[in-house]
Structure 1
């Protein structure tokens, strides 16, 4: 199959990477796993045995109203938490084959929806946000573009740093969440070839 290049030409690409059937369940699993891997998992609370305070019975058993033991119980202010959270990992195992298949499915769906714009090259001469906005306006991309190059330059990263919805990635840093959240993916021809080598 072929992708249309912005200058009017075409680029031959692999059907397995840009023409794959969309597997919603697989894509969802990979996106959730990727997002969970970024979670810190550092939340920590104290149970009734860990809070500071005596475990002595707070009052006599009879004659004082409701019967109760230590004031470290969860029903008292300053007491422990019933099901105290502990630091843990949210990472989910995703096989390499599944990850690559999900990436190819996302790219294929973006291609079917016309949300991939292929350009010969994409860079800015100086680290200026205005220059990047001008280039994006010429390409008529959405409000949340993703720029993918074979090796993003420092000028490009710095130009996009002040734009909250513009993402810049090289092929090695490409991930499913950035692809799914982008309105339009602006990708260079060299980056397309590297993506094919990676996912084919």
Structure 2
């Protein structure tokens, strides 16, 4: 298949396996959830009734004082333990390489079908200026949440986009399914397309 290069009469030949793959919602959902879970620290820790520091002596006599209670470390008291206390754990989910690459190809293919994948010959800014990047982005209809993908994101481009809300810059090595799914439009260079094709083919 061929991808149309924006502001050019030329077309870029790409693999159908990468940019023409059928969309699998279940596969993409599984990979996106696994990717986000991998970023969770999982360090939350609470104390159970036995771990709370305090006496286990009965707080009052059994009868004559209303409700019957034992130690004040019980979960019903302020300062007591937690009934089902959270403990440090890993949220990692196993996703093999074949599934991950298939999901990335499915996302790119769906973006292409929806017209949300725009290919350009090159994209960069000469200096670290946010205003320069804003001016350059006005030439493209990218929506509110654009994603710019280049072969190797330059420091000027990355720093220029840092102060723009919802504008993300990624190189091919840092491309992930969450950023692709969350973008309104993906602006990608021809060099990046070729590198992605080598990676996912």
**TM tier relative to shorter chain:** over 0.9
Quote the Cα distance in structure 1 between the aligned partners of 2:110 and 2:163. 29
Quote the Cα distance in structure 1 between the aligned partners of 2:67 and 2:80. 17
Secondary structure (helix, strand or coil) at the match of 1:42 reads: coil
Secondary structure (helix, strand or coil) at the match of 2:138 reads: helix
Quote the Cα distance in structure 2 between the aligned partners of 1:60 and 1:140. 74
Secondary structure (helix, strand or coil) at the match of 1:61 reads: coil
Runs of at least 5 residues in structure 2 that lack an aligned partner in the other structure: none
CA apart distance, 1:57 = 1.5
Aligned to 1:4: 4
Q: Where does 1:12-91 land on structure 2 (aligned, <5 Å)?
A: 12-91=13-92
Measured against aligned partners, the alpha-carbon deviations of 1:9-30 in whole angstroms (never above 9, x if no partner) come to 1000000000000000000000
Quote the Cα distance in structure 2 between the aligned partners of 1:26 and 1:123. 33
User: How many residues are treated as equivalent by the alignment?
Assistant: 200
Runs of at least 5 residues in structure 1 that lack an aligned partner in the other structure: none
Quote the Cα distance in structure 1 between the aligned partners of 2:152 and 2:67. 70
Aligned to 1:197: 198
Aligned to 1:152: 153
Aligned to 1:107: 108
Measured against aligned partners, the alpha-carbon deviations of 1:140-180 in whole angstroms (never above 9, x if no partner) come to 21111100000000000000000111000000000000000
CA apart distance, 1:36 = 0.7
Aligned to 2:180: 179
Aligned-residue CA RMSD in angstroms?
0.9
TM-score by length of 1: 0.97
CA apart distance, 1:56 = 1.1
